[in-house]
Structure 1
Amino acid sequence: MYLDQLIQLEGRGEYQVDGRCIICGVAPGEYRCCGCFTDDLYCKECIVVTHRDIPLHGVEMWNDGKFDRTTLKALGLRIQLGHGKPNKARLCQGRCANPQRAVDDDFVVIDVHGIREVALDFCACETVQPHDIQLLRARWYPCTGKHPRTAATFKVLRRFHLTTLESHCAVKGFYMSIARESDNTGTVPQDRYDELLRMTREWRHLEMLKRAARGHDPAGVEATQAGECALLCPACPQPGKNLPPDWKEAPKSRRFLYALFLALDANFRMRRKKVSSEEKDLSLGDGWSFYCEIAPYYSYLTKNWKQKQERSTCVAHDAVDKPDRESRGTASSGIATVDCARHNMKRPNSVGDLQLGERYINMDYIFFIGLARSEISELFVSYDIACQWHKNIWERMKTFDREVRFVRGKKFCVFLIPKFHLPAHIEACNIFFSFRLTRYVGMTDGEAPERGWSMLNPLASSTVEMGPGMRRDTINDAFNNMNHKKILGLRKAMLDKLGDCVPELITASTELEELETSLRNLGAGATLEEWRVEMEAWEDDAKNSNPFASKREHKRVADVRRELAEEDAAEDDDDKVVVAEEMHATEWIGMGVQLEELQRTLGFDIGKIGNHPTAEQQTNLTERGNKLRRKLLTWMDAQALFIPHVAVSRAEEDRERKRISATQVQPGVQVQHITLWLPSAIIDHVPCDKELYEYEFRLREAQAHEALADIRHQLLLRTHLYKYKDRFVRGVKANSRSQTKIEGVEERTRRATERYQAAWRALKGLGRHMGPLLTEDVRGMPRALFQDPERKKLLMKKGPAAREKAKQARDEAKARMSWIWRGPGVEEEEGGMNEALRIEWAKTRARFLRQCEQLDLLEEEMRRILQFLRWRADRWEQRAGQCPQAPEDDADRVPGVVYAPKHAAYAEGNKYCARAHSSLRRCGPTLRTSSRWGEQ
């Protein structure tokens, strides 16, 4: 049925019988309009008359049983510019006494629905205006200012602008879609692609100037200042726009509310090939928005190009060690930006092209130039290689002009690494550059640029082929669009952040309270106060001892083995006992501990498979067992040389095994059950060299501490996984995947527990007493107990008895703490506390303080947004009065009268943000009191 209707509409439709003109009713109706709502048929004269005000519609002519395309120009319609009645469109309302035809009477208009050839008359009488002005008043944009032969309607330019911002469509594809809509039979209309390319670029530039109120400045567009056309972030501190008059006098504890959070990053997908040049393709507004001014930028790079870049002292960062990556055959290997870290908005004059990767000279320039005119004194700077970049930055700053440099002592910078990038750095960076551990940053993560690249990267396929000027204009326009969308979404974003912050703050407060209650119940109140004093001292001066860093690190097994190997290498005693193939005693002991771990691993894997393994699993286990048995036999041969008397113990074991095997269905001993008889196991009945006891003692002590650290890590990870599963995981598939991860953590915890038990038994034999690890000891911190699986099952049970047990478990969780969080040999340590517990308390306190700061920052940002919008509304109203006045006979040309009030009214759309801010101001004091704000 639908197909029949579509086919019928290709013909005369309902006018098969009576084919007269719908207007005059006399002449035959042979023409119809493709743009009008109806399919009425017109005669030639009537369709021309009815389309004088809509001259860009496409028309068709009935010819030989079908409709053929034609034009209104071919039917005799002429368009007159420059004349019209008041308040009417200045097209065909009046005729000119002295019309002047377009050049060769050949004029093309690009519209939304097609490319039209029109018969155009310009006005040439006493009220004449330049041809390009006449076109603009008709809402047609001229391709050139002198003898124009092509124009594009404002509609098509707006359509392309929005289309390319949302779908990243190139001009070529957009133009071809319009050309095919004009005629999809292969007959190509006059090529106006280059003209459209030029007009879209100029249109974007003019729109930027219009929205930046540059047309309202009596000094003209030439007076535009650097970065003035970039949309600013309303939530960031903008002196003179959204800050209170006394913001510079804020106490030290409140200065962070007026700090600027910045994030640097580079994007290597936004490359540009060696196409055109700076001389041939200039920016239309160099330095007026997000890109820094090009000439000074290149001058600085040329002057400092040979500046040396230090090698990384952290992990191998390609951005540091390989700054010239992906730069071959390109004029620009990417772009670098400085963003607002909390609201993900681009900053004025803080974008620059890269030439040889992410070099410091590029990043330094956009950082310092973007802040050259800023009055903000507190800066939190995020960069994924901040640990390296911040070194010598103040020395490199001296290469800039005096007006760009920071005045030391008046600006305070804190350098940090984004949260997602931080785990890839060394341990020291995870402490000294962490957002989570740094005061006054709230819940900022520093990953803002990474989120923004997802909106920009689709442009890479277009900009890679552009000249330098057009590419910068395109990227500037994209950044203005990104900022515009972020501003529109600020209301929802602020409310969402507030909705996340309040419950997280309450949770963090509860966790800290539970932990501190447990510590006080253990008699550690005085120690807790000492920790608090140490923490506050470090927060006031980072030169003091960092409470998040371990002051007494326990050595790992690998460290001890390395030390023993170095001692062997330095040993010059010719009487040193050495066995076959240069195996020293330290190597033999280390290999024995390693073989013991392989036995445990094999036993775990066998138990995990169960009684019915597959053929492949059985083959794998058998091969592993055979390899391990051969290693054990080789190790036992060496053992006979180091401890000859162990042969007696092994012979007795063999006799007992033979006696037992006589009763077994499959005689023999499994390889994972073979006793190794290390020195710690025979200390009471077999003589052995004291050095062997010492070597094993050092390895076992490291093994015990390493296993405990692994257990603590796995327990904390289990807590996180349970909390994540409870809050975010929904559905059978997602729950199954999450449960699999939790089971993996449980298995690793069991393996670490077995490893500790082995080390404990050995150390007990060697004379060092450490606490036995019971099943009930392997539990999380007090705050983690509420997420343990046993705890969850207990809380889910119903009935009086279950509620009583749940209450007892809750009280127990607050009162008792497993000794693993206090360390082995706790009674030997001052105050009964170890560093792991101190660091965990410091991190728990940091989580609470970050949420407190987040709430403070959100309240201040909401206030700033409202004040910024009021400032912007007032500014537009002032601009309306500053606009150059037009003559009285042309009063409708006064832009300020019609455009400035439109922007001034935009501030009213954020009333919901105002309500949220008002509510937060009312409930904030109560929330802070209930969250022990003042105490911290």
Structure 2
Amino acid sequence: MTGGDMVAVDRSSTLQVWNFVESNSLGQISPMSIKLPHQQRYLSILLDMEASPAPQICMSCGGDGIYRYRECVYWPVFCTSWLRPFHRVQQWNGTFSEESSLRLASIVIHLGHAGQPCPTGGDFTQEVTTDDDDDEWDYVEEDRGPTHLRSPKDRSCLVVVHTNGIHYCNVKYCTCVGAEDSHLQLTMAGLFPATTKQPRTAFTFYVLDDFIRDNVECGTSAMNYYSKLQRITSNGFPHLVPMISRMWRLFKLLKWQGLHTSPKDAGPGELVLFCPACPQPVVNIHKEGIDLSQWTFARTLVMDGNFKAEHMHPTDHNNEVWLMDVKSFMVESMPYKEYLEGSTNVVKRSDCSNHHAINHANADRNQLASTGISGCACARHGCFVPHAIVDFQKGEQQVNMDYALVHAMQHGLGPGQRVIHFYDINCQYSKNLACQLKVNQFISMLASLTIQPGIGLWHMHGHQTECFVWYAPNFIPGVGHVDGEIIETLWSSLNIISPSGQGMATSHWQELLDFQMNDNNFLKMVQMSLSLNKKIKGAQQSCAAAEEAFAALDNSVMTISLI
């Protein structure tokens, strides 16, 4: 494929986008329809932009401009002295502008002196001889394809992953007396090294942050994100761009997130966000001696299981590294395993509607280490409770749910505070709860806490008629207008990214879920700041209308009684 052929393909794709927008205008006047009479002119302009600029003068110094920078308006041309790290440039070859690279332009990244050359001369990355097990990349060894995609034979340069593609970069490290190690010099320059021992690969901080945004907003997996970077690097030859051979070693999304924090002195669940509106002593209840047993200070929790968040057995569990264990939403791994090994799951015959779907969900484990997850969330605002998410081993068992509930009750509750707890089979679960906790040596609950069981309105229709008056939120004092089903909406958004974590290491899988849940709580907080004021005004108006209606009803009843 020649350069002209690729240009024609790229420009025809522009016309395809126009046609797509036009065909999806839903009967309205599309902005593109106004431009259709100028379609040929637009195409000619796009093709003219591929021609050699006249004159070829550097926009910076007025010298000979041989490189074109397409990430700026008008696609200006510059000389070699203007080029900066991670610019993606094109060079005119006499026929068309072909992709080039900073390495071919002999651009060097200097470390250790804020981008300035080291006074001692510095040193290039040394050639590294590694075993196959330690190799980070799958390189294309053939001398084919564009020159800027060919990996250096000695592999002495640094491979840098940025938002605009993969770059081969010449790097000079500081060699002054007392200089930091190479991986630390890279980190200080905003480059996250793939390893601490003679790194040959680094990621810009910006690309890691951009990956996280893609992950939480679009559900993009690491493999898909990197495939996009390959296409950005070379749309015509993406298969010639070096491919990461061990994705978990390099694109550790949540390991990066963990390094932003200071987990050393943090307690359980203290590195993540929780609902700012739920009544919490010390956090948003500061008055001393207040009676927390009042219904206005009741905490509403909803608990449920999710069988989409499966996880396969890790291939090398002895090599797993935990950065956020116990600090986020998932419970601490080792105490949870000890609890499961030392606790017996008691299964009693249900005297309500059968729940075989729950008892036998994912009973056929196959290669699954976890058949799903479960946890608690704020029933009113939809925020996950920190350090209260557990995983399943043989379906949704009471031992799993007990552990999640107990840890949720330990987060931000004060003595005597009431808890309204929703669970889809609470008519059976709540009967065995006190007995199971009393005999369990691993977990316990404060005796001063009062739990009011409830069942969500949607699940209520699958129960017997007697359950409605006992467990429906309509008849629970202090619960307000809550349906008890909000956690189902939380699972639906989490399920977008869950499949991409099935084959991850256990630590990475848990931190993936932790970050997704923390992002959910963050978005909930943003929404609260925008809507709470409006809701308060609406509640005040509704309260005044209700009081007026009640007074009118009360006066009419008194009049009738007098007559």
TM-score bracket, shorter-length normalisation: 0.7 to 0.9
**Are the equivalent residues in 2 in contact too, given 1:319–1:359 (CA < 8 A)?**
no
CA distance 1:24–1:139, change in 2 (3 Å): closer
Deviation at 1:323, TM superposition (A): 5.4
Q: Which amino acid aligns with 2:107?
A: L
> Partner of 2:163 in structure 1?
112
Alignment of 1:828-907 (within 5 A): none
**Are the equivalent residues in 1 in contact too, given 2:359–2:397 (CA < 8 A)?**
no
Q: Which amino acid aligns with 1:269?
A: K
**Residues 88-143 of structure 1: CA deviation (Å, up to 9, x unaligned):** xx22x344314111133221111111111011000011251111221112111111
> Partner of 2:122 in structure 1?
99
Instruction: Tell me, in whole angstroms, the C-alpha distance in 2 between the residues paired with 1:63 and 1:173.
Output: 33
Which of the residues 421, 432, 436 maps onto 1:392?
Answer: 432
Q: Which amino acid aligns with 1:491?
A: S
Is 1:288 the counterpart of 2:327? The answer is yes
Instruction: Tell me, in whole angstroms, the C-alpha distance in 2 between the residues paired with 1:224 and 1:293.
Output: 13
**Are the equivalent residues in 2 in contact too, given 1:161–1:200 (CA < 8 A)?**
no
CA distance 1:36–1:164, change in 2 (3 Å): same
Instruction: Tell me, in whole angstroms, the C-alpha distance in 2 between the residues paired with 1:192 and 1:332.
Output: 30
> Partner of 2:193 in structure 1?
142
Is 1:186 the counterpart of 2:237? The answer is yes
Deviation at 1:241, TM superposition (A): 2.3
> Partner of 2:90 in structure 1?
60
Which of the residues 201, 204, 224 maps onto 2:254?
Answer: 204
CA distance 1:376–1:259, change in 2 (3 Å): farther
**Residues 722-774 of structure 1: CA deviation (Å, up to 9, x unaligned):** xxxxxxxxxxxxxxxxxxxxxxxxxxxxxxxxxxxxxxxxxxxxxxxxxxxxx
Alignment of 1:449-598 (within 5 A): 449-506=487-544, 508-509=546-547
> Partner of 2:227 in structure 1?
176
**Are the equivalent residues in 2 in contact too, given 1:150–1:195 (CA < 8 A)?**
no
SS where residue 345 of structure 1 aligns? coil
> Partner of 1:333 in structure 2?
371
Is 1:238 the counterpart of 2:280? The answer is yes
Q: Which amino acid aligns with 2:479?
A: V
**Are the equivalent residues in 1 in contact too, given 2:359–2:395 (CA < 8 A)?**
no
Alignment of 1:642-721 (within 5 A): none
Q: Which amino acid aligns with 1:31?
A: Y
CA distance 1:513–1:309, change in 2 (3 Å): farther
CA distance 1:320–1:346, change in 2 (3 Å): same
> Partner of 2:28 in structure 1?
none
> Partner of 1:369 in structure 2?
407
Deviation at 1:195, TM superposition (A): 6.4
Deviation at 1:21, TM superposition (A): 5.0
> Partner of 2:296 in structure 1?
257
Is 1:228 the counterpart of 2:270? The answer is yes
SS where residue 497 of structure 2 aligns? helix
> Partner of 1:152 in structure 2?
203
Which of the residues 332, 337, 341 maps onto 1:298?
Answer: 337
Instruction: Tell me, in whole angstroms, the C-alpha distance in 2 between the residues paired with 1:246 and 1:449.
Output: 33
Instruction: Tell me, in whole angstroms, the C-alpha distance in 2 between the residues paired with 1:448 and 1:465.
Output: 28
SS where residue 279 of structure 1 aligns? helix
Deviation at 1:319, TM superposition (A): 5.2
Instruction: Tell me, in whole angstroms, the C-alpha distance in 1 between the residues paired with 2:223 and 2:190.
Output: 23
Is 1:50 the counterpart of 2:88? The answer is no
CA distance 1:510–1:249, change in 2 (3 Å): closer
**Residues 690-710 of structure 1: CA deviation (Å, up to 9, x unaligned):** xxxxxxxxxxxxxxxxxxxxx
Instruction: Tell me, in whole angstroms, the C-alpha distance in 1 between the residues paired with 2:256 and 2:63.
Output: 50
Q: Which amino acid aligns with 1:228?
A: E
Instruction: Tell me, in whole angstroms, the C-alpha distance in 2 between the residues paired with 1:315 and 1:513.
Output: 43
Which of the residues 18, 30, 39 maps onto 2:66?
Answer: 30
Q: Which has the higher helix share?
A: 1
Instruction: Tell me, in whole angstroms, the C-alpha distance in 2 between the residues paired with 1:195 and 1:153.
Output: 18
The farther-off stretch of 96-105 and 146-155 is: 96-105
**Are the equivalent residues in 1 in contact too, given 2:346–2:398 (CA < 8 A)?**
no
Q: Which amino acid aligns with 2:432?
A: N
SS where residue 392 of structure 1 aligns? helix
**Are the equivalent residues in 1 in contact too, given 2:258–2:323 (CA < 8 A)?**
no
CA distance 1:194–1:291, change in 2 (3 Å): farther
CA distance 1:196–1:96, change in 2 (3 Å): farther
CA distance 1:165–1:63, change in 2 (3 Å): same
Give the total of aligned pairs: 493
**Residues 481-510 of structure 1: CA deviation (Å, up to 9, x unaligned):** 111111111123323432443444455556
Instruction: Tell me, in whole angstroms, the C-alpha distance in 1 between the residues paired with 2:545 and 2:458.
Output: 23
Deviation at 1:344, TM superposition (A): 0.8
Q: Which amino acid aligns with 2:516?
A: A
Deviation at 1:443, TM superposition (A): 2.0
**Are the equivalent residues in 2 in contact too, given 1:276–1:468 (CA < 8 A)?**
no
Instruction: Tell me, in whole angstroms, the C-alpha distance in 2 between the residues paired with 1:451 and 1:161.
Output: 22
Identity %: 26
Instruction: Tell me, in whole angstroms, the C-alpha distance in 1 between the residues paired with 2:119 and 2:72.
Output: 28
SS where residue 121 of structure 1 aligns? strand
Query: Taking structure 2 as the reference length, what is the TM-score of the superposition?
Result: 0.81
Gaps of 5+ in 1: 84-89, 215-220, 526-814, 816-936
Q: Which amino acid aligns with 1:32?
A: R
**Residues 412-456 of structure 1: CA deviation (Å, up to 9, x unaligned):** 111111122223221211001121111122223222211212221
CA distance 1:447–1:495, change in 2 (3 Å): farther
CA distance 1:187–1:342, change in 2 (3 Å): closer
Instruction: Tell me, in whole angstroms, the C-alpha distance in 2 between the residues paired with 1:376 and 1:102.
Output: 61
**Are the equivalent residues in 1 in contact too, given 2:193–2:201 (CA < 8 A)?**
yes
Q: Which amino acid aligns with 1:157?
A: L
**Residues 585-632 of structure 1: CA deviation (Å, up to 9, x unaligned):** xxxxxxxxxxxxxxxxxxxxxxxxxxxxxxxxxxxxxxxxxxxxxxxx
Q: Which has the larger radius of gyration?
A: 1
Is 1:4 the counterpart of 2:44? The answer is yes
Instruction: Tell me, in whole angstroms, the C-alpha distance in 2 between the residues paired with 1:279 and 1:195.
Output: 17
**Are the equivalent residues in 1 in contact too, given 2:162–2:204 (CA < 8 A)?**
yes
Q: Which amino acid aligns with 2:297?
A: Y
Instruction: Tell me, in whole angstroms, the C-alpha distance in 1 between the residues paired with 2:492 and 2:291.
Output: 40
Deviation at 1:200, TM superposition (A): 3.9
**Are the equivalent residues in 2 in contact too, given 1:115–1:189 (CA < 8 A)?**
no
Q: Which amino acid aligns with 1:292?
A: V
Is 1:131 the counterpart of 2:182? The answer is yes
> Partner of 1:411 in structure 2?
449
CA distance 1:279–1:196, change in 2 (3 Å): closer
**Are the equivalent residues in 1 in contact too, given 2:215–2:497 (CA < 8 A)?**
no
> Partner of 2:138 in structure 1?
none
Which of the residues 106, 109, 115 maps onto 1:76?
Answer: 106
**Are the equivalent residues in 2 in contact too, given 1:283–1:472 (CA < 8 A)?**
no
Gaps of 5+ in 2: 1-40, 128-155
**Are the equivalent residues in 1 in contact too, given 2:358–2:395 (CA < 8 A)?**
no
SS where residue 390 of structure 1 aligns? helix
CA distance 1:94–1:174, change in 2 (3 Å): same
Query: Taking structure 1 as the reference length, what is the TM-score of the superposition?
Result: 0.50
Instruction: Tell me, in whole angstroms, the C-alpha distance in 2 between the residues paired with 1:5 and 1:302.
Output: 70
Deviation at 1:327, TM superposition (A): 4.3
> Partner of 1:922 in structure 2?
none
Which of the residues 41, 51, 57 maps onto 2:77?
Answer: 41
Instruction: Tell me, in whole angstroms, the C-alpha distance in 2 between the residues paired with 1:321 and 1:520.
Output: 55
**Residues 253-296 of structure 1: CA deviation (Å, up to 9, x unaligned):** xx222222111011112122344364343433211100001111
Instruction: Tell me, in whole angstroms, the C-alpha distance in 1 between the residues paired with 2:552 and 2:414.
Output: 43
Q: Which amino acid aligns with 2:260?
A: K
Q: Which amino acid aligns with 2:445?
A: F
**Are the equivalent residues in 2 in contact too, given 1:34–1:57 (CA < 8 A)?**
no
Deviation at 1:81, TM superposition (A): 0.5
> Partner of 1:266 in structure 2?
305
Q: Which has the higher strand share?
A: 2
